[in-house]
């Protein structure tokens, strides 16, 4: 067996310890006589699995009791529709801070349901930073403000929570959840597809302030109604049982590691190693404003498309894979989520050094 260092933006690397445990439990989970995949989602043993996953996440993120944790399907993308359907119902208007493709998609979907006001945008500067807080122009009559905390494609990230006053703040944290500490009580909804920093694809986590349920229209289709999923404790229909089980194993791994404070420390260390190297390199350059650089998705380039392609190809031969940038952003991107060990980042830097010296 030869496992590579996988810098994929998602689905992404998982902790090896978790994969080993899952493989040990593949044929029989506990003394259930079967795999988690084969269990009824209504069985007591599965209920334990989902309840434990929820309580571990609550503990890790310090989620207040007035928030629900929902395990849903449809990816983060369905939330671009589900959130407006459920809570853009008072003035039928929302504010969105546009920081790239993931907020543009949210804008496109929200516009099908109500009015969207762009509260700020960094489109004019190729999304190379988060708009400055002095640029935020929130509407007094918006039902909420939507933002994307970490922009997976460009490698930008918020460094402080925008002050939206009374407006609930909705955050797409698909690529940053569990990477650093967040004060959950400052948000109305935090949502994240699991396949970046949590577990396998198939489950989407929605952390929601229960006050927002008051706004949900009675006639919403059940599968699209947060309140229905809440009342059924995410078991309204068959949930993605195995993905939730694996997410639970990742939560356990994180807790054992020392929780969010510990992983945040490690993530800062990994980010600093890589950014320091890029900042001092004569070949590689980052093009993201230093004040808004992501610890999860590090983007850079040699300045030449051909050289970038060669780098990605050569890196792959060394077991450093999936370093090509997103097709819309180009360049090189190293996604270094929680499960990417420091050693992986060091191996990448060693290879970058070699490439820099031996480049054609
Ligand atoms: C990947 C990603 C999405 C889309 O997630 P799906 O689960 O594929 O719908 C949305 N937002 C962000 C920030 C992402 O990184």
The string of DSSP letters for 180-197 reads S---GGG-SEEEEETTTT
Return left, alpha or beta for 133; rule: phi > 0 is left, psi -120 to 50 is alpha, else beta. alpha
12, 99, 102, 335: residue to mutate for ligand 1 pocket, most atoms within 8 A of CB: 102
d(CA 37, CA 357): 49
Residue nearest to atom 10 of ligand 1 (CA): 76
71, 73, 76, 194: residue to mutate for ligand 1 pocket, most atoms within 8 A of CB: 76
Ligand 1 mean position, distance from CA 172 (Å): 8
Cis peptide upstream of residue 328 (ω within 30 degrees of 0): no
Q: Are 120 and 136 in contact (CB under 8 A)?
A: yes
DSSP 8-state symbol, 235: -
Q: Are 188 and 210 in contact (CB under 8 A)?
A: no
d(CA 104, CA 110): 10
| Nearest CA among 169, 139, 144, 120 for reference residue 292 | 120
**Token pair in block for residue 61:** 């993120």
φ and ψ of 189, to 5 deg: -140, 135
Ligand 1 mean position, distance from CA 105 (Å): 10
Q: Domains in the chain, start-ordered, CATH in brackets?
A: 17-256 (3.40.640.10), 260-358 (3.90.1150.10)
Q: Is 246 helix (H, G, I), strand (E, B) or coil?
A: helix
In a structure prediction context, what are the per-residue pLDDT tens digits for the chain, which is 360 residues long?
Answer: 789 999 999 999 999 999 999 999 999 999 999 999 999 999 999 999 999 999 999 999 999 999 999 999 999 999 999 999 999 999 999 999 999 999 999 999 999 999 999 999 999 999 999 999 999 999 999 999 999 999 999 999 999 999 999 999 999 999 999 999 999 999 999 999 999 999 999 999 999 999 999 999 999 999 999 999 999 999 999 999 999 999 999 999 999 999 999 999 999 999 999 999 999 999 999 989 999 999 999 999 999 999 999 999 999 999 999 999 999 899 999 999 999 999 999 999 999 999 999 987
From the centroid of its chain, how far is CA 103?
Answer: 13
Residue nearest to atom 1 of ligand 1 (CA): 174
| The residue count for the chain | 360
β-pairing verdict for 169-172 and 145-148: parallel
The confidence score (pLDDT) of residue 239 equals 98
Q: What is the dihedral of CA 17, 18, 23, 25, to 10 degrees?
A: 110
For 130, residues 6+ apart whose C-beta sits below 8 A from its C-beta are 97, 99, 122, 156, 157, 158, 159, 292
Classify burial at 359, counting beta carbons within 10 Å of its beta carbon; exposed 0-12, middle 13-18, buried 19 or more: middle
Ligand 1 mean position, distance from CA 48 (Å): 28
Protein residues whose CB sits closer than 6 Å to any atom of ligand 1? 10, 75-77, 102, 148, 152, 172, 174-175, 193, 196
- Give the active site residues: 102, 172, 196
The confidence score (pLDDT) of residue 6 equals 98
Return left, alpha or beta for 160; rule: phi > 0 is left, psi -120 to 50 is alpha, else beta. beta
Q: What is the pTM of this model?
A: 0.98
The confidence score (pLDDT) of residue 1 equals 79
Residue nearest to atom 7 of ligand 1 (CA): 75
The confidence score (pLDDT) of residue 232 equals 97
β-pairing verdict for 320-321 and 5-6: parallel
Helix (H) or strand (E) holding 97: strand 93-98
Classify burial at 81, counting beta carbons within 10 Å of its beta carbon; exposed 0-12, middle 13-18, buried 19 or more: middle
d(CA 47, CA 235): 9
Ligand 1 mean position, distance from CA 199 (Å): 13
């Amino acid at each position: 067996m030869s496992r590579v260092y996988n810098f994929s933006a998602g689905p992404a690397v998982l902790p090896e310890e978790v994969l080993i445990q899952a493989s040990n439990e593949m044929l029989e989970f506990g003394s259930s006589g079967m795999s988690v995949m084969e269990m009824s989602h209504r069985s007591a043993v599965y209920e334990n699995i989902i309840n434990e996953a929820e309580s571990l996440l609550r503990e890790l993120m310090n989620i207040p009791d007035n928030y629900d944790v929902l395990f849903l399907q449809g990816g983060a993308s369905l939330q671009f529709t589900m959130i407006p359907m459920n809570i853009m119902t008072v003035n039928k208007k929302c504010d969105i801070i546009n920081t790239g493709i993931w907020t543009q998609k949210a804008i496109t979907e929200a516009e099908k349901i109500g009015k969207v006001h762009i509260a700020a945008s960094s489109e004019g500067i190729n999304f190379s930073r988060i708009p400055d807080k002095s640029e935020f122009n929130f509407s007094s009559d918006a039902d909420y403000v939507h933002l994307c905390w970490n922009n997976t494609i460009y490698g930008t990230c918020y460094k402080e929570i925008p002050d939206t006053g009374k407006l609930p703040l909705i955050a797409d944290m698909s690529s940053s959840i569990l990477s650093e500490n967040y004060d959950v009580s400052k948000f109305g909804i935090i949502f994240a597809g699991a396949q970046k920093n949590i577990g396998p694809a198939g489950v989407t986590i929605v952390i929601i302030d229960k006050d927002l349920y008051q706004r949900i229209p009675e006639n919403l289709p059940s599968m699209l109604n947060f309140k229905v999923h809440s009342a059924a404790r995410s078991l309204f229909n068959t949930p993605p049982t195995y993905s939730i089980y694996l997410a639970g194993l990742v939560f356990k791994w994180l807790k054992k590691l020392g929780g969010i404070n510990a992983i945040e420390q490690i993530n800062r260390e990994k980010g600093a190693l890589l950014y320091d190297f890029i900042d001092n390199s004569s070949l590689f350059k980052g093009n993201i404003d230093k004040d808004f650089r992501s610890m999860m998705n590090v983007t850079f380039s040699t300045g030449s498309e051909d050289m970038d392609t060669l780098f990605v190809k050569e890196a792959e031969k060394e077991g450093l894979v999936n370093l090509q940038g997103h097709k819309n952003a180009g360049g090189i991107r190293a996604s270094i989520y929680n499960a990417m060990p420091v050693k992986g980042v060091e191996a990448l830097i060693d290879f970058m050094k070699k490439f820099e010296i031996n480049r054609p």
